Amino acid sequence: MVTLRDLPVELWRPILASLVRSPGVLSSDRQDPFSEVRDIVIFLNRDVKTHLALLLVCKVWHNVVTELTHEHLHLTSAEQVAVIANRFEESRRHSIKHPLGTCTRRIDFQLSNPSDQCLNALVRILRCSPNIEILVNSNYYMALNPTFHITPPQAQTRTEIINALIETCSSSLRRIEWTSNEYPSWSDLMHVLQTATGITSLTLANIYGNLTERPSHYLTLPNLKTLVLGDSPSFSHASLGNVPLNAFLTMLAKSPEQLPSLQRLEGFSPFSPDFLRTHGPKVRIVRTVAFTPLLNEIIATCPNLDTFVTIFPHHILDLLSHPSLKRIGIFPISEDPVGVPQAIFSAYIMKPLEDLLCQIDESQLPKLTQVRIRNIGTLANITEHPLFLQKWWKRWDSRGVRFDDKDGRPFNLVSSESDKCTR
């Protein structure tokens, strides 16, 4: 009699993949801003106990699960980096056809003040991973200044890492992100973008150094759909007037053909007016701070805009007018847990939020179908104000507009649950 585990591995692999992979982890583009799946959820959803149990079932399952668990590497310590580098090189020596590194499709770097030895090990990992589609660099550097305050100095991504990435997996790379205070140099960034032409999503917190030599021809990114610039997700005022990023936008504003596939634009404000005039008609999603003199121009130069996300409490939002805008998101400047006295929360969160909703309500948005407040971080405690949520749910419902929370639940249900908890 044939047991379940004796079935062909081709049948078991997709089933095991659904148990091992986190939803959205291998997406070549960033999640839709209204998606309930966020990167932090991707990392927290790993069920280590289930993975270990599956490894013990039989040899075939052990091999399949081992491959699946190496599809996504989240590297957070020097010890872990050294182990993976040694493992990949050992596997390559003993398995010419299917070394373990060929299974890896996404790598997240999240290392604090990495040493030269650790960075050398990252190069070794990249050299063994020819099928990487997603690389997220969140390495962060901290230093004590003379007054013993911690400061985040800028750091450059080592050219050896860039070279290993390009030489090993330029043809497979689809999404690359620099999200913290380690950035590529101008020359290395140009090398990546001119070589890895299949990139569909690019995130740049900043660019290291000065632009000393402009490209001799237009920089063209034929497949780029998503462009995120600045210190995401807050896009704080530290990003305003960022010279390297503005220079990058200017470089891309020469012709509409430079970004023929662009659909999503996120970042600091103000965006370059030239960039907006060149590429605005293609853009479907914009996410930025609302406090910008260019906000009306952003809206006006994006006639096909579908989704607009404003970062709160940058809450000054002039009345808008747009023929096709369907979704508006109000997202917190920080998703980290925050605790403040109720009086301060009411004055600095609830009152500006009320004003913002009034401004949206009075805007000319005939196609509006959804308003979402991501009630986490600085906005988490709005659920403790059920009368406010009920009032606005009724107002939006009367207009046929869905008013929902971070998980897509209508706020009338959220406020009802909050009422039950307080009784």
Which of 108, 107, 104 shows the shortest CA–CA distance to 130? Answer: 104
The H or E element that residue 415 is part of is: helix 411-422
pTM of the prediction? 0.87
381: amino acid identity, one letter: N
- What is the Cα–Cα distance from 75 to 79, expressed in whole angstroms? 9
Q: Give long-range contacts, CB 8 A cutoff, 24+ apart: 318-323.
A: 318/359, 319/359, 319/362, 319/363, 319/364, 320/296, 320/360, 320/363, 320/364, 320/365, 321/363, 321/364, 321/365, 322/364, 322/365, 322/367, 323/366, 323/367
Burial 281-293 (b: 16+ CB within 10 A, else e): ebbbbbbbbbbbe
- 307's CB contacts (< 8 A; 6+ apart) are 33, 34, 284, 285, 286, 325, 326, 327, 328, 329
Q: Which residue in the block uniquely carries the two structure tokens 């009422």?
A: 419
Low-confidence ranges of the chain (pLDDT < 70): 1-11, 13, 15-19, 37-57, 59-62, 96, 144-151, 215-216, 231-241, 268-271, 290-294, 314-317, 414-423
- The arrangement of strands across the sheet holding 402-404 comes to 72-75, 106-109, 134-137, 175-178, 201-204, 226-229, 264-267, 285-289, 307-312, 327-332, 370-373, 402-404
For residue 156, the SS3 value is strand
No. of helices (H) and no. of strands (E), the chain: 15, 16
- pLDDT at residue number 1: 44
For strands 150-151 and 143-144, give the pairing: antiparallel
Which of 355, 363, 300 shows the shortest CA–CA distance to 328? Answer: 363
Contact of 260 with 283, CB cutoff 8 Å: no
Which of 362, 392, 363, 359 shows the shortest CA–CA distance to 375? Answer: 392
Examine residue 270 and say whether the peptide bond preceding it is cis (omega within 30 degrees of 0). Answer: yes
- What is the Cα–Cα distance from 359 to 319, expressed in whole angstroms? 6
DSSP string across 14-70: HHHHHHHSPTTTT-SSPPPTT-S--HHHHHHT--HHHHHHHHTT-HHHHHHHHHHHT
- pLDDT at residue number 238: 47
Structure tokens at 49: 């106990």
Q: Which residue in the block uniquely carries the two structure tokens 């959220």?
A: 414
- pLDDT at residue number 84: 95
- pLDDT at residue number 288: 83
User: What phi-psi label fits residue 113: left (phi over 0), alpha (psi between -120 and 50 degrees) or beta?
Assistant: left
Which of 333, 373, 374, 379 shows the shortest CA–CA distance to 234? Answer: 333
Q: Which tens digit of pLDDT belongs to each residue from 361-388?
A: 999 999 999 999 999 888 989 998 999 9
- pLDDT at residue number 237: 45
Q: Which residue in the block uniquely carries the two structure tokens 């689809």?
A: 174
Helical spans, DSSP H, in 100-143: 116-127
